[in-house]
Structure 1
Amino acid sequence: MDKQLLNRTTQQLKQVCADSTTPAGEGQKAANTEQKSALNQMFELFRFNYHNQFLKAFPDAATLITAKRLWSRLLVDYPASTILAAAERAVKESSYLPNVHEVISRCDLAGELGVPDAYAAYIEACRAPSPKKTFAWSHPVVYFAGRASDWFFLANNAEYKAFPVFKRNYDLLLQRLQQGEDIQLTIEKALPETSERPLARQQQQEKLQQLKSLL
């Protein structure tokens, strides 16, 4: 099995090396920052879960860099959240290091669900008017991710703070959706990095009224 894995990886790398002599056309897309980060996380996930197979397939830094360039080009049409969800699904379903075509097939499965990427979903959740339940959501998973993130929190915090929370919840719900699980189940909140002082009674009442207005 390891020999087959090495052979198919070698064929992929030969193809990308041959293609590299052709200048990129104007219509060729390049991976954005989020996609590149997702790709790096995917390779680290594979390194951890398929250690020996990974080292056989990518024995040195040059081979790994070339492989990342190939995978980046082939996965450029998928949002970062879909790439990561596909990688995690591959780890759960296969005992062997997947090739790029197997990852693409799992990305296509996520695409068939018709969900927006994490950032587009975040913007939709932040801009949706109240009452939230009656808004025409692009997909129910966006609403449940917003609800899990707390509407008040999303409305009253800067993007750099609110988006990571929303993205965590969205990615968890996307995984449930891909696995056919119930996305309406409550998501356990991540523990805060720092403790917060309890609000005064008046502040608590004001926050409660704000929360009611968002429902």
Structure 2
Amino acid sequence: MAKAKPARKPASAGGQIRLIGGQWRGRKLPVLDSEGLRPTTDRVKETLFNWLMFDVRGCRCLDLFAGSGSLGFEALSRGAAEVVLVEKDPRVARQLQHNLASLPGARGQVLNTDALAMLQAAATPFDLVFLDPPFHRELLAETCRLLEQGGWLADDAKLYIEREQGSQALSLPANWRLLKDKQAGQVCYQLYQREQVQE
């Protein structure tokens, strides 16, 4: 008797992310499959939030190119006052909204819009910004320019950048100072501190 073939996962099925610290530590949240969506690994996430140990609680956080929401939800779990998750794909944005609603009392919002288009508008400054765009699309330089010039950043904001190893040199605002720099496999990631521009 022939063995039955395993059922195929529906196209919309995906994996999950795990919150590794804070009030929802250990909570798993579902993630849809979507082109370019690449959740930050637990190893990288743990390193990042060790860097940010004293900077998350009470901060306003912006998770651009949110994707799985792994970084934004981790910040909420660790006491961020508010997190705004920006995601262009409507299906992925709906999943983010569902996951946000599953975290009791989480102060966040999901914006289903293009990150670069959003950054053209007026802003309320954020204390912490996560930048982890889809690889190989050269989105970071323009994103960083708009963040700096558009009033999106608090005077001493911190910015996390995750990008593919071997990507072209990144042109960043002159007042962003590199604090941390690491590599894991094909991913390199840095933490920057914004310094006030001298008049």
TM-score by length of 2: 0.31
Q: Which has the higher contact order (CA 8 A, sep 6+)?
A: 1
Higher helix share: 1
Name the structure where strand makes up a greater proportion of residues. 2
Larger radius of gyration between Structure 1 and Structure 2: 1
